[in-house]
């Protein structure tokens, strides 16, 4: 196998997924790239600056480093996408085309591209949203993700590009920070709680959203990428679920460990984004096709984060 090219390496998922890929395949087998300079553990292996909106630059890096797999994670998250439609199209959709074209033309074996539960809008069945529920997203981010999913399916069907995708729920980890997303509150809340500070939440107390602990997200991603191609019945993007909770429930789970923790609610424009998304996801197709199963619920995740975060200095990465 050639090397793995990873874009958006400095994002919330990047550093953690790269660490696991390097652990499995060897440090030198994963080339991390980002538009920002490497920090933290990204410095511990090969790294190059890469602007994924530059198609030629992507192709040059693939050729230079003998790349055979691509994890294309560079993107603008939902809250930021709402504020900059042109950039979100260029980055979230334009760069996907560059990667899919390169995969087709340069014999890339496998591509991973993240989608999101944001593909579902208010028309979707909101509890236990099925794989093939009506989508009709109402957010910029969701529209781009749904479009991207269809391009992935097209490139697989027409050109045989082996591109695979997951509809991630909100991802929660303690090693990195998200930036510009609607589910970010569920990461920030742990930092405030451990600092002994009150938390002001930009969503209402009862806003239920699908979420997933980072360990489960990494496991799901690598399991999907390891699966035999003939097992995959979905070539748009797989629903995957971890847990669902609202801000009141996550603060209750924190209060079991830190009884003085307090939360207030000051919803802003992100409330509309969250309200358009499902409460919970049906991931039975992922379970049946490639054996997906999450390990963490809210109680287990809160315990793990509150134990491990104090000894950890997160990579302070504000996503684009
Ligand atoms: N977690 C992402 C966001 O909030 C959605 O996929 O933007």
- Pick from 68, 36, 25, 178: nearest CA to 114: 178
Asked if 147 and 196 sit in the same domain, the reply is no
User: Residue 305 is part of which domain span?
Assistant: 174-211+243-279+296-319
Length of the chain in residues, anyone?
A: 320
Q: What share of the chain has pLDDT > 90, as a percent?
A: 92
Are 154 and 123 within one domain? yes
Residues with CB under 6 A from ligand 1: 77-78, 116, 118, 141, 168, 170, 181-183
The number of the ligand 1 atom at minimal distance from the alpha carbon of 114 is: 6
| Number of structural domains in the chain | 2
For the chain, what is the mean pLDDT?
95
Rounded percentage of the chain residues whose pLDDT exceeds 70: 98
Strand blocks (E) in the chain: 3-7, 30-34, 47-49, 67-72, 110-116, 163-168, 170-172, 199-201, 209-213, 238-239, 243-245, 263-265
Question: pLDDT digits over 257-267, tens only?
Answer: 999 999 999 99
Q: For residue 304, how many other CB atoms are within 10 A of its CB?
A: 15
Whether the CB-CB separation of 244 and 202 falls below 8 Å is answered with: no
Mutational test site, ligand 1, from 11, 170, 172, max ligand atoms within 8 Å of CB:
170
At 78-124, the pLDDT tens digits run 999 999 999 999 999 999 999 999 999 999 999 999 999 999 999 99
- Let me know: does 292 contact 105? Beta carbons within 8 Å: no
CA of 11 to the centre of ligand 1 (A): 12
Ligand 1 atom at minimum distance from 116 CA: 6
Q: In terms of domains, do 229 and 103 share one?
A: yes
Q: Are residues 180 and 275 in the same domain?
A: yes
Q: Is residue 86 part of a domain?
A: yes
Among protein residues, the one with the nearest Cα to ligand 1's atom 1 is 170
The CATH number linked to 9 is: 3.40.50.720
Beta strands in 82-198 (DSSP E): 110-116, 163-168, 170-172
Write down the pTM of the prediction. 0.95
> Mean pLDDT, to the nearest integer, of 35-50?
90
Q: Are residues 314 and 205 in the same domain?
A: yes
Domain final residue, candidates 191, 221, 239 = 239
- Which residues are the active-site residues? 141
Q: Using CA atoms, how far apart are residues 256 and 113, in angstroms rounded to an integer?
A: 37
User: Residue 316 pLDDT more than 50?
Assistant: no
Report pLDDT digits (tens) over 196-247. 999 999 999 999 999 999 999 999 999 999 999 999 999 999 999 999 999 9
Closest-CA residue, ligand 1 atom 3, reads 181
């Amino acid at each position: 196998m050639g090397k793995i090219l990873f874009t958006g390496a400095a994002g919330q998922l990047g550093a953690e997924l790269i660490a696991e890929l390097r652990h499995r395949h060897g440090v030198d087998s994963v080339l991390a790239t980002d538009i920002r300079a490497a920090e933290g553990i990204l410095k511990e292996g090969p790294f190059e600056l890469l602007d994924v909106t530059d198609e030629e630059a992507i192709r040059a890096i693939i050729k230079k480093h003998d790349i055979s797999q691509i994890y294309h994670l560079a993107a603008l998250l939902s809250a930021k996408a709402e504020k900059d439609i042109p950039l979100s199209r260029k980055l979230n959709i334009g760069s996907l085309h560059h990667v899919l074209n390169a995969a087709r033309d340069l014999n890339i074996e496998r591509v991973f591209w993240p989608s999101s539960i944001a593909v579902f809008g208010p028309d979707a069945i909101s509890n236990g949203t099925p794989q093939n529920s009506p989508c009709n997203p109402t957010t910029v981010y969701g529209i781009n993700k749904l479009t991207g999913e269809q391009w992935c399916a097209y490139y697989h069907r027409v050109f045989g590009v082996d591109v695979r995708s997951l509809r991630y729920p909100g991802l929660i980890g303690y090693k990195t920070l998200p930036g510009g997303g609607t589910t970010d509150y569920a990461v920030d809340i742990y930092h405030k709680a451990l600092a002994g500070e009150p938390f002001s939440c930009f969503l209402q107390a009862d806003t239920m959203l699908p979420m997933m602990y980072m360990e489960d997200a990494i496991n799901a991603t690598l399991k999907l990428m390891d699966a035999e191609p003939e097992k995959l019945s979905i070539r748009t993007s797989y629903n995957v679920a971890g847990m669902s909770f609202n801000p009141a429930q996550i603060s209750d789970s924190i209060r079991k460990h830190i009884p003085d923790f307090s939360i207030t609610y000051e919803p802003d424009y992100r409330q509309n984004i969250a309200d358009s998304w499902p409460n919970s996801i049906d991931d039975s197709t992922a379970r049946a096709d490639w054996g997906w199963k999450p390990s963490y619920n809210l109680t287990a995740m809160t315990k793990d984060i509150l134990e491990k975060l104090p000894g950890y200095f997160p990579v302070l990465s504000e996503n684009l």
